[in-house]
Amino acid sequence: MSDRAPNMKDERRPALLVLADGEVFEGEAAGAAREVSTGELVFNTALSGYQEVVTDPSYAGQVIAFTYPHIGNYGTNRADDEAPRPFCEGVVVRDITVAPSSWRSVEGFEDFLVRHGVPALTGIDTRRLTRHLRTEGAMPCAFGTAGETELVAAARVALSTDGRDLVSQVTTSRPYVRGAGPLSVVAYDFGVKETMLAHLGGLAKVTVVPASTPASEALALEPDGVFLSNGPGDPAALGSLSDTVADLVGHVPVFGICLGHQLLATALGGSTYKLAFGHHGSNHPVKRLSTGQVEVTSQNHNYAVRDVPGTEVTHVNLNDGVVEGIRSTTAAAFSVQYHPEAGPGPHDARYLFAEFCEHLNVCAAGRPGT
């Protein structure tokens, strides 16, 4: 088996994608081709931003199927990485571009996948695949150049994200600092994206800490606020992290995004549940209840929150009514399920970082000697 991308499409080897329910799709091996790869299969509807999608740590344990038919048109570059490497288990596309065209491109998308060891499939009927997942829900899968019998067996035992702590696989092993300024933020890395840190770094000195950092250690840094990042896996499997968040609320302002939103909700006494096929894309309409304004948002999550006592719902998904934002009625703590930083996606919701900054300033002004 070779980890080198083929130079021409006619050099590709036949490959199969087999879902846990036995559905089979024919295609060709691409990227860092393997005989067998497994993961939970989800689809993403974004028309661009494939590099940011693939390098989002929230996809750990998952295989990403792109609904847009042509992926790789404008190549890749280091500036668009959301993490040092992809954590996804694979990529499925209708057609992967072998000759990208963009002045920003420094490497083709397939070469990028090969360099990072990410297996892929191309030539898949992604329209049929997406319709199947919309009907049957996201599910484990197996894909590669092995025979159908072997792939069927692998798909049957492949893992979903249910009950799994995947945060420990993506979080930083040691603290590091981003940004500078008079304000101070501790950012919990549950799988944080670079675009989030860029926004926060424009507001304050940001100390990024491992997910396992106790609340006492975070508060000992005397931050003006705490940020809870996005991340992968099942929030119900992260009880210790939820307990940490509970110990932070009420001491400093807290702002959570995606998994951070789910952990804040459970810390406040709420619960989570798994969506049938999740929200993965860059055009989800969300209503901001305080103004009635509709925001077009970027999203990437399989789980959602409900029944959070002591909070008000601030944002709602107009497609399916999912709670997209909450705010505590007793503490400076708020969160959203979607991605206001985009990367990729629209910028409609970036005002949330300004709201967090207002809380930071209030906290800083109340400190002795300020």
Report the distance separating Cα 148 and Cα 282, nearest Å. Answer: 34
Contacts of residue 209, Cβ cutoff 8 Å, sequence gap at least 6: 172, 175, 186, 187, 188, 189, 217, 218
Residue 304 · residue 272 · CB < 8 Å: yes
Given 258, 315, 357, 363, the catalytic residue: 258
Given 339, 357, 359, 363, the catalytic residue: 339
Given 40, 295, 324, 341, the catalytic residue: 341
Beta bridge partners of 313: 326
Report the distance separating Cα 246 and Cα 324, nearest Å. Answer: 20
Beta bridge partners of 72: none
Q: Which amino acid makes up residue 264?
A: L
Cis peptide before 214 (omega within 30 of 0): no
363 is catalytic: no
Residue 234 · residue 161 · CB < 8 Å: yes
Q: Establish how many alpha carbons lie within 13 A of residue 103's alpha carbon, considering only the half-sphere containing its beta carbon.
A: 0
Contacts of residue 345, Cβ cutoff 8 Å, sequence gap at least 6: 46, 49, 282, 283, 297, 298, 339
Contacts of residue 24, Cβ cutoff 8 Å, sequence gap at least 6: 16, 17, 18, 148, 152
279 is catalytic: no
339 is catalytic: yes
- Which residues are catalytic, by number? 258, 339, 341
